[in-house]
């Protein structure tokens, strides 16, 4: 965080100061800000956030022992440290992020990019950050820090020398993207796609469209919306941009996109294509597995070139990226038995893309194995969408379908109903049971996809399989 006095901090969060010796209102604090006492270091600011299972106020003492210089709390804690008392710690975190970004923007050359979409946010964030890091200090989220806590914590990492802030905006309900993006008024807003992820929380696909379009509405006038020309719902956000005085830059596979991909070829080593940027062609070898990640790369290129990065530099930097993120199409195991661990997030769209990638990268002499768990946050659409995944796995000719968990059982039942199965599809209640089956079932030449939402816990099953067959 930039250097601020305790008085400045209190003003930013509308809090009351309770000083501990030897501090005064003019004492300067410049450490990192966090809500996790285990991550606090000397000079940092600890935000005591109440949680569902515990209360951050319990850990103020631990934060001070770790070196915290200041605590933002909802009530005074009997610990010898200066404290700023606020009505709502999470709201205070957002207010502080807004003020820090405002100050850096006013005094420097900070450009802010916001990213949203039903799928692909984290991959696109990582690809764009890799490009922009070559231009100057770039701040981007750790993992998927994209909610009401993670997004402000990312924003608070900017310094006076930061040139680019890349913010990822997730949401499970209407209004959340508007609140988060409103903290920074992005110069560039990227909308990747409107799909069924979190449809249960939003109340359907049209409500999801309205929620994702909140980012376009938050882009500052004179800024730019980077929109997916291949997604009709995303394309329908262009009039919103026009109303706001915001330009539009299109990416996609179609000929009309300003940044597009031609001649896409998918292999087990990655994806090759020709990227055309404003009429100029560039070959790209993307090592991140999966054809669907080409669209994420196009979005990153569209945003970066709008910010002044040459297309050639974008391509060169993207080719250094080996994986999107841990547990996202992450290759594990060995050349003999390859495990693809993609079990951090799952939606109908990403599940379909991952299964298609599995089919594309498997040679005729090899066997496809899909280890599938539940997709969360689909609400009333859950049964129908799980059925569709089971059907798709059959139609793609996946040779072994291993379904794990009660919430995913419909995938197994649909696979059995749609094919002439003789043990090709199996179901297990727990990841441990699935692991015991798989270590005896997998053989040389198998290509294994592990795919589920985070809550299903299959990412750890993928890790275990990767270690067993490394």
Which residues line the annotated binding site? 117-123
Among residues 303, 322, 264, 325, which one has the least CA distance to residue 123?
325
CA distance 119 to 190: 12
Q: In what order do the strands lie in the sheet with 270-277?
A: 138-139, 164-168, 111-116, 188-191, 224-228, 247-252, 259-267, 270-277, 280-286
Question: 458 exposed, middle or buried (CB, 10 Å; 0-12, 13-18, 19+)?
Answer: buried
Per-position DSSP letters for 355-423, written without gaps between them: HHHHHHH--TTSEEEEEE-PPPS-GGGHHHHHHHHHHHHHHTT-SEEEEESGGGHHHHHHHHHHS--SS
Q: How far is CA 149 from the centre of its chain?
A: 14
Residue 86, token pair as written in the block: 């606020």
Report yes or no: 91 and 124 within 8 Å, Cβ to Cβ.
Answer: no
Q: How far is CA 261 from the centre of its chain?
A: 23
- The upper half-sphere exposure of residue 265, i.e. CA atoms within 13 Å in the direction of its Cβ, equals 9
Task: Determine how many CB atoms are found less than 10 A away from the CB of residue 90.
Answer: 17
Q: How far is CA 92 from CA 47, 217, 234, 334, 400, in A?
A: 9, 24, 32, 48, 50
Residues of the binding site for ATP? 117-123
Among residues 24, 27, 48, which one has the least CA distance to residue 36?
48
Q: How far is CA 47 from CA 4, 64, 143, 246, in A?
A: 16, 12, 20, 36
Report yes or no: 406 and 427 within 8 Å, Cβ to Cβ.
Answer: no
Among residues 377, 425, 375, which one has the least CA distance to residue 397?
425
CA distance 186 to 303: 12
Q: How far is CA 221 from the centre of its chain?
A: 26
Among residues 409, 375, 377, 369, which one has the least CA distance to residue 393?
369
Question: Cis before residue 386, ω within 30 degrees of 0?
Answer: no
- Which three-class secondary structure state does DSSP give residue 243? helix
């Amino acid at each position: 965080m930039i250097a601020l006095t305790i008085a400045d901090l209190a003003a930013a969060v509308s809090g009351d100061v309770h000083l501990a010796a030897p501090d005064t209102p003019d004492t300067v604090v410049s450490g990192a800000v966090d809500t996790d006492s285990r991550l606090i270091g000397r000079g940092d600011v600890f935000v005591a956030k109440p949680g569902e299972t515990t209360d951050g106020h319990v850990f103020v003492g631990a934060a001070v022992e770790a070196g915290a210089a200041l605590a933002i709390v909802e009530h005074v804690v009997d610990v010898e440290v200066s404290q700023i008392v606020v009505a709502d710690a999470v709201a205070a975190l957002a207010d502080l992020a807004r003020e820090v970004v405002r100050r850096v923007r006013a005094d420097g050359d900070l450009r802010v990019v916001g990213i949203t979409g039903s799928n692909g946010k984290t991959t696109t964030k990582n690809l764009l950050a890799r490009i922009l890091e070559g231009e100057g200090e770039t701040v981007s989220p750790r993992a998927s820090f994209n909610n009401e806590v993670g997004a402000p914590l990312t924003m608070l990492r900017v310094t006076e020398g930061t040139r680019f802030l890349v913010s990822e905006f997730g949401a499970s309900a209407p209004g959340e993207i508007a609140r988060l993006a409103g903290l920074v008024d992005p110069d560039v807003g990227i909308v990747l796609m409107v799909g069924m992820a979190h449809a249960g929380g939003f109340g359907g696909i049209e409500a999801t469209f309205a929620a994702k379009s909140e980012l376009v509405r938050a882009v500052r006038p004179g800024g730019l919306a980077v929109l997916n020309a291949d997604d009709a719902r995303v394309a329908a956000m262009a009039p919103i941009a026009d109303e706001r005085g915001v330009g539009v830059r299109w990416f996609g596979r179609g000929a009309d996109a300003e940044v597009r991909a031609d001649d896409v070829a998918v292999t087990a080593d990655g994806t090759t294509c020709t990227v055309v940027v404003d009429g100029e062609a560039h070959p790209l070898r993307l090592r991140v597995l999966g054809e669907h990640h080409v669209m994420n790369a196009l979005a990153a290129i569209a945003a970066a070139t709008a910010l002044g990065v040459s297309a050639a530099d974008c391509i060169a930097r993207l080719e250094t990226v080996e994986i999107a993120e841990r547990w996202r199409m992450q290759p594990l195991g060995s050349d003999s038995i390859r495990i693809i661990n993609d079990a951090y997030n799952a939606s109908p769209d990403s599940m379909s893309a991952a299964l298609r990638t599995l089919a594309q990268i498997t040679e005729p002499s090899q066997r496809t194995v899909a280890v599938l768990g539940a997709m969360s946050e689909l609400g009333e659409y859950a049964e129908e969408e799980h059925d569709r995944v089971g059907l798709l796995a059959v139609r793609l000719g996946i040779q072994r379908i291993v379904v794990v968990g009660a919430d995913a059982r419909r995938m197994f039942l649909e696979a059995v109903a749609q094919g002439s199965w003789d043990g090709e599809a199996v179901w297990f209640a727990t990841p441990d049971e699935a692991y015991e089956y798989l270590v005896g079932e997998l053989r040389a030449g198998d290509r294994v996809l592990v795919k589920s939402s985070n809550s299903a816990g299959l990412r750890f099953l993928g890790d275990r399989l990767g270690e067993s067959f490394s």
